[in-house]
Amino acid sequence: MKAFLKNRQLLLLCSLLILIAGRFTGPGAFALIPALALLLMIRGFYTELLLGFFLCLILSDSRNPSLEVFQNVKNIYMLLLGLGLFVIPRQGLPYERTLLKFWPFFAIAVFCLFFSDNFLTSIQKTLSYFLILVTIPNYVFLAWRKQGTQFIQTLVWWVCLLLFIGFVLRFVMPEQVFLEDRYTGILGNPNGLGLFTMLFFILYRIIETNWTNLFNRWERIVIYALILLSLLSCGSRNSLFAVLLFLSFGYFYRVSPVAGFVYFVIIGFTYSFIQVNLVGIVTSLGLEEQFRIDTLDNASGRTIAWSFGWQWIQENIALGKGIGFTDDLYRKYYNYLSMLGHQGNAHNSYITFWLDTGVFGLFFFLRGLIMSFWRSTRTNRYSMPALYAIMFSAFFESWLTASLNPFTIQLLIILTLLNMDALPEPLQKESDAAIQTNHTDAQTPVISGK
């Protein structure tokens, strides 16, 4: 962490400038932040450019009214990243092709636009999802190409710093990091922090598996401590379950892929039993407070949202009404659902995809997602465990259907790093070799999860 704070002053300065511009300059942020992003792009500072966008997504999730400007700034930043791919000299570097696995989904999403009740919003959100799938993997490519494993180290320590800042604010400005007595960190709500931390945990485990020499023992202790404290403090039981699934599947896949698949089948057959007896299981483990046992029976009102969504799906199973339709639908019936005990959106990515793009859109999105993870099973044993954990969390939150949030960007970084064989050779081989030499207590470096 000390080396990160000393050697990444440009990143820290850019992050501070983005925060100050969004917090204090009002409409000026619409000019200052894109200008900074454009300067970083021209100078080839791709790590700072990518993490600057990541920061805008995180700040856009905040409940602080003074940071509302990031709700719109992130859209301009996204467009700049997309346009940048056409003007940045690539020196023979091919484009990352994650998008190709999802092209049938986008074809259906575009078709559903013709049935949209809010065409302008739907086309904007469809374009946004398209751009995030194009840009993020390619800027990971560019950052890796220029900095090699230094980019990976910077990414990990930068996220850790954000988690640490949340704990500092807990004592300095507690009103900014608590929502109804639940810890939110720098995110907008506790479940958001849980999801953010869960995805970062998966990301870090994949990094640790691919590059065993990047962090020494004490650094790993610090990283895991920040992750664990954040996860437990926010009280997000869905994210905690997802982490436990990831770890358990990872153990069985380490034995063999067959053992992992058998475990998956067992979990599938015993899920109903676990669901029925979940309250008793949690009570016997003494985890009533962490799992908020009083809301387990109705999944914090989610069952109401799921039932409502399924009723609408049955009206037209095959076709959706465009990306963004579900948000408008639940907003329209907000008062009705509130009387039933639910507030918010569908809280289920699969129901949301189904309502927005129909059953075929849902199918082809899942096909693209599974194919993206399956491709890396030969080189990293955490590929399928990561997929299971992410699909589990998506069952309880609609984050997977949105593009400009602090979560989808982490999923795309995970997918890009999993498929290491597609990454170009880094230019800074000398710095990578220095990292290997400095971490004398680490194991021999590998690029394999086997």
Flag whether 60 is in a domain.
no
Cα three-residue angle 371-374-378, rounded to 5 degrees: 145
pLDDT tens digit string along 121-135? 999 999 999 999 999
- The two tokens of residue 123 are 């086309």
Flag whether 105 is in a domain.
yes
- Categorize the per-residue pLDDT at 180 as very low, low, confident or very high, splitting at 50, 70 and 90: confident
- Categorize the per-residue pLDDT at 301 as very low, low, confident or very high, splitting at 50, 70 and 90: low
Answer whether residue 16 shows pLDDT above 90.
yes
Helix (H, G, I), strand (E, B) or coil at 179: strand
Flag whether 50 is in a domain.
no
Percent of the chain with pLDDT over 90: 62
What pLDDT is stored for residue 263 in this prediction? 76
pLDDT tens digit string along 57-78? 999 999 999 999 999 999 999 9
pLDDT tens digit string along 311-356? 999 988 999 999 999 999 999 998 888 888 777 788 899 999 999 9
Task: Yes or no: say if 399 and 408 are a contact pair by the CB < 8 Å rule.
Answer: yes
Residues 6+ apart with CB under 8 A from 96: 137, 138, 140, 141, 416, 422
Minimum mean pLDDT range among 18-32, 293-307, 428-442: 428-442
What pLDDT is stored for residue 294 in this prediction? 52
What pLDDT is stored for residue 228 in this prediction? 96
Flag whether 44 is in a domain.
no
Percent of the chain with pLDDT over 70: 86
Q: What amino acid occupies position 72?
A: N
What pLDDT is stored for residue 106 in this prediction? 96
Flag whether 55 is in a domain.
no
Flag whether 27 is in a domain.
no
Q: Which is more confidently placed, 268 or 378?
A: 378
What pLDDT is stored for residue 428 in this prediction? 62
- Per the rule left: phi > 0, alpha: psi between -120 and 50, beta: everything else, 394 is alpha
Flag whether 284 is in a domain.
yes
211 vs 179, 269, 320, 448, CA distance in Å?
37, 36, 43, 8
**Range list of β-strands (E), 161-245:** 178-179, 182-183
Which range of residues forms the domain containing residue 109?
A: 90-438
Answer whether residue 429 shows pLDDT above 80.
no
Answer whether residue 243 shows pLDDT above 70.
yes
Over residues 418-437, mean pLDDT: 63
Flag whether 167 is in a domain.
yes
Nearest to 394 by CA among 406, 407, 385: 407
What pLDDT is stored for residue 253 in this prediction? 82
Structural domain tally of the chain? 1
Classify burial at 25, counting beta carbons within 10 Å of its beta carbon; exposed 0-12, middle 13-18, buried 19 or more: middle
Task: Yes or no: say if 62 and 166 are a contact pair by the CB < 8 Å rule.
Answer: no
